[in-house]
Amino acid sequence: MSPDVIETRIAGVPIQVPIYTDIEHTRRIIDIVNDRLRDIESSSSRIDTQAFALLAAVSFAAEVEDLAKAAERDDREVLVALDAILDGLRDLIRELEDDPPEERP
């Protein structure tokens, strides 16, 4: 086994999985995948491993898309807040330029 992969089972199938970040992180990912597959299997009246795997992939892709959209919304909100702060700083600079404080000794 290569040091860049770990041997594991996903849906009962032996497989070599690339290590993402570190082994513990990779094992957590594998657990999440196995949990999702079990959830899909439990809601089905038939056994179709390939279909379950595809449904899990679609489910994870939908989550990634939702998270990406949420991140974009958060980024826009941060940019709006930063623009407001920048406008406030510009106003303060203009006020100071128009009416500078008295020089201190």
Residue 13 DSSP SS3:
strand
Give the pLDDT confidence score for residue 21 in this predicted structure.
93
**What backbone phi and psi angles, to 5 degrees, belong to 30?**
-60, -45
Specify the residue for token string 């949990």.
Answer: 35
On whether the CB atoms of residues 10 and 37 are closer than 8 A, the answer is yes
Distance CA 72, CA 70 (A): 5
Sign of the alpha-carbon dihedral angle for 78, 84, 87, 89: negative
Q: What is the pLDDT along the chain (105 residues), one digit of tens a residue?
A: 556 999 999 988 999 999 999 999 999 999 999 999 999 999 888 888 889 999 999 999 999 999 999 999 999 999 999 999 999 999 999 999 888 777 655
Give the pLDDT confidence score for residue 105 in this predicted structure.
55
**The whole model's pTM is what?**
0.69
On whether the CB atoms of residues 1 and 7 are closer than 8 A, the answer is yes
Helix, strand, coil share (%) of the chain residues, nearest 5: 65, 10, 20
